[in-house]
Homo-oligomer: A and B are copies of this chain.
Amino acid sequence: MTKTIVVLGAGAMGSAMCTPLTQAGWETRLWGTWLDDHLIDACEAGQPHPRTNVPLAVGTKMYRSGQLDEALDGADAVILSVASQGVPKVTEMALQGISKSKVLLLTSKGFCPDDDGKIQLLPDAIRRIAAANSVELPPIVAVAGPCKANEVADGKPTATIYGSLDRSVAEQMAKQISTDAYCIQPTDDEIGVEVCAPMKNVYAIALGLADGLEAGTGFPHHNLKAATFAQAVREMSELSKALGADPVTAYGLAGVGDLEVTGLSGRNKVYGLRIGRGEPAVEALEAMIAAEQTVEGVPAAGLAKLLVEQFGQGLAASLPLLAAVQRVIAGEENPKEIVQAAVLPAKLI
């Protein structure tokens, strides 16, 4: 029997997911938030999706923001694919429908402060919201790894990782959603998957700084970029471990793979490159915002700082590259600061 899945959020990743989902045989519904009307308009008009430049997968049913209940009606699975700031609100709006489904997948990524300012990973934030509303949730599956939305939408080869506290749930979804092009690795390390996803945006800024030093001086800084990459992976592993994850998760698709794809292109890297080239951090960010280029790594770096502080000095000391990126973003340090943070730890291990 055909199963039904609802994608909440019609942005780049939400719309892209419709490609493997329809190919894998799901009845696929795409719900756009109140911010997504123009995206749904374009798709309904048969145009490519404005964020991925790829037409929406044939057979996808589209729903407007006012049609949330209709979209969720009878859904076997729900995928939450909104920007991380929108997660609490959309979760609350969709809570009844989610509770009736058998699984909640999550492509949204980020750190979410609770009412007391404590930083939570998104699955925990969703569980907190559900508990506050006395609603029971189905199992959560965190979806991450090196997935540029336009390539997923276009059916290009992609390897991704699905993490659920109950490994059998991750395995089941991996079987039911994998296609020849979209290959899913299941894991029980929900935490590791969730930590790496926002952190790779922070560390992509550091990779951009190395590129910017090259662009600004005319001299390659490949050794620096590679040292930065290795230190970033090490720090993602350290932070994951502190939060209870398997330290090895950061060494796979969720960390190494996702940092590689983020460092190849993307806004975080471009922002870092501008600073590395010599632009003051504040001006670089203003220019990106003026061009409607959200730099996710900037708020993530601030929230990561608060998160690390929840664990005390020992953890902070093992994350010198994170601290250096935070100082560079704050305009407190010359981007060359990154050099010491990337290569010096070699001496200290």
Chain A residues at the B interface, C-beta cutoff of 8 Å: 146-148, 150-152, 154, 156-161, 174, 178, 181, 183-186, 219-227, 229-231, 233-234, 237, 248, 251-253, 256-258, 260-261, 264-265, 339, 342-347, 349
Contacts and interface: CB of A to CB of B under 8 A. Distances in A.
A223 B157 contact: yes
B230 A183 contact: no
A106 B231 CA distance: 24
Given A148-B220, A221-B151, A227 B344 contact: no
B260 A184 contact: no
B251 A229 contact: no
Given A183-B347, A184-B347, A151 B223 contact: yes
Chain A interface SS verdict (over half) = helix
Nearest to A174: B347
Max chain B Cβ within 10 angstroms of own Cβ: one of A151, A183, A223, A265 = A223
B347 A157 contact: no
A314 to B, nearest CB: 20
A106 B219 CA distance: 27
B159 A219 contact: no
B185 A253 contact: no
A188 to B, nearest CB: 12
10 contacts: A146-B222, A148-B223, A154-B219, A156-B220, A160-B346, A178-B347, A220-B265, A222-B264, A225-B260, A248-B251
B233 A146 contact: no
Nearest to A160: B346
A201 to B, nearest CB: 14
Contacts of A349: 185-186
Given A185-B345, A251-B251, 19 more contacts: A148-B220, A150-B220, A151-B220, A158-B223, A159-B231, A159-B343, A159-B346, A174-B347, A184-B346, A185-B346, A223-B261, A225-B260, A226-B253, A226-B258, A229-B256, A230-B260, A233-B256, A234-B251, A237-B251
Contact of A261 (B148, B150, B178, B225): B225
A156 B256 contact: no
Max chain B Cβ within 10 angstroms of own Cβ: one of A220, A256, A261 = A256
B152 A183 contact: no
Nearest to A211: B264
A344 to B, nearest CB: 6
A148 B221 CA distance: 9
Contact of A230 (B184, B222, B257, B347): B257
Nearest to A224: B157
A226 B265 CA distance: 12
B152 A223 contact: yes
Contacts of A253: 226-227, 230, 346
